[in-house]
Homo-oligomer: A and B are copies of this chain.
Amino acid sequence: MHPPSHGDDRELLARAALMRAADVGDVIMGRLVRLYGSAATVEMIFRGILPEDFVEKEIARRGDPEHAAALDRRLRAWQARLQAAAPATDLEAGHEAGARLVIPGAAEWPTQLDALGHSRPLGLWVHGSADLRYSCLRSVAMVGARSATAYGVHVAAEFGIGLSEANWTIVSGGAYGIDGAAHRGALAGPAPTIAVLACGTDVCYPSAHHDLFAAIRRQGAVVSECPPGVHPTRARFLIRNRLIAALSRGTLVVEAAVRSGALNTATHAANLGRHLAAVPGPITSEMSLGCHKLLRERNAVCVTSPAEMIELVGMIGDDLAPTPRGPVVPRDTLNDETRSVLDAVPSRGGAGPASIAVAAGVDLKTALSCLGGLAAAGYIERVPKGWRLRRGHPN
């Protein structure tokens, strides 16, 4: 998508090499590259010597003279891995598989990741048809429990569809449960969806999501800061979560137990100053405890519809959610005829006035007059097949 020039080639090779050398989220590597550039950093590591003033600053930062030994061990680890790395092969293999390495400064780099400071990834492997930067301009992170309930899966899918239909990109983690449902919902709409993995983009984890990841690559992208072939670990999941939070304008937690990776993503979102929202659920459900904790203790916004999420992350005034409203006239005040007509209106599909009149046991003229009143009062709505109950009307 963005073929690198020859100068970029050298930078890409150096970054690909350093991504093999350092663990994901290694802030010491991040500071080294920020200060000296990637080519010089590669050279230092090969030579096995870090600049003296850098070492001094790191020790001062830690406030512990013993830290010098730890730094040295870190350098040896980088060196060993760098010597084993084959960045040109990585880039070639990625290219053949269809993945590209996107690095800071490239046109496709999502600059909102700069908010991560020294833990900003050295680069991102991107596999998919979508432009990562463009896709994430209007994006929402949806995260939650792997062991989601039917309620959570339903809600995640509905939000995925609703946000995608409003051209918002869903960023999630590609896991079972809420993540998968959010991606699947998003794929049912027109917008791209981004799966940020805790393993190489060529590693299919969980393996049952093989087809889902293929669909995401066609209508979005599978993204990772892990080099090809790297398998997920617990630490990589936690470190990955900062990317999900940092790529998007806000994070929505759909379902989460009290101990949950989703709450870790929520913490990243809050620390980055991004919007944080949670979907409420039954207080009797363990899987909503984490969401309620966010509402109670972390000032998360209570979000009950895609429109409310868009209102939160959208431009002020541009994306106001409609306030949920009941009918203007309460049911108790309806007269008997009108109430029997209301009872005859179906909640799905639709029915014509004649059949409603028969079902209600009134004549057609009465039915028509009652239907008009019920529509004005917000109880029913006109659909191609006639009349049906309005969504959100209280029964």
Contact = CB atoms under 8 A, between A and B. Distances in A.
A286 B284 CA distance: 17
Contacts of A283: 155, 279-281, 304-305
Interface in A136-150: 147
Contact of A302 (B151, B260, B292): B292
B154 A284 contact: yes
Contact of A282 (B282, B296, B305): B282
A61 interface: no
Contact of A304 (B292, B392, B395): B292
A394 B258 contact: yes
A394 B301 contact: no
A282 B280 CA distance: 6
Nearest to A287: B394
By size class, the interface of chain A is 35 or more
Number of copies: 2
B324 A151 contact: no
A151 B258 contact: no
A350 to B, nearest CB: 20
Nearest to A155: B283
Contact of A234 (B154, B260, B308, B332): B332
A6 interface: no
B304 A151 contact: no
Given A295-B302, A302-B295, A302-B296, A392 B282 contact: no
A237 to B, nearest CB: 10
A259 B330 contact: yes
Interface string A327-343: 10010110000000000
A293 B324 contact: yes
Interface of A: 147, 151, 154-155, 234, 257-260, 279-284, 286, 288-289, 292-293, 295-297, 301-302, 304-305, 308, 323-327, 330, 332-333, 392-395
6 contacts: A257-B394, A258-B392, A259-B327, A279-B283, A280-B282, A296-B301
